[in-house]
Amino acid sequence: MSDRTPTRPSAPGPGRLIAASAVLAVAIIVPMLVWTYARTSPELAGIPFFYWYQFLLVVVSVAMTGIAYKLVVSHDRDRRAAQGLDRDGGAA
């Protein structure tokens, strides 16, 4: 028989947190670039560009926030596993 002890996974690096920050930064900064959408044409079904672009930004920002959330949650799950903690923070 072997004397192997089970090893914990190594702690995750900051890559997922950096990616989540970048995704959120895009969702925050793009709506501040008013010059990109301060016009009325082209129209979409009679709706000026400004309005449908803003609506599109809302939908895209929600999707980006969801992606950032999944990245942070998966990072936290892996960090807890590496520390030997259960879901609520107690020892497993």
pLDDT, residue 60, reads: 95
Smallest Cα–Cα separation from 12: which of 4, 20, 1?
20
pLDDT, residue 4, reads: 67
Q: How far apart are CA 62 and CA 67, in angstroms?
A: 9
> Mean pLDDT of successive 10-residue segments in the chain (92 residues)?
64 87 94 88 88 92 96 90 74 61
pLDDT, residue 28, reads: 93
**Domain-by-domain residue ranges, the chain?**
15-79
pLDDT, residue 11, reads: 74
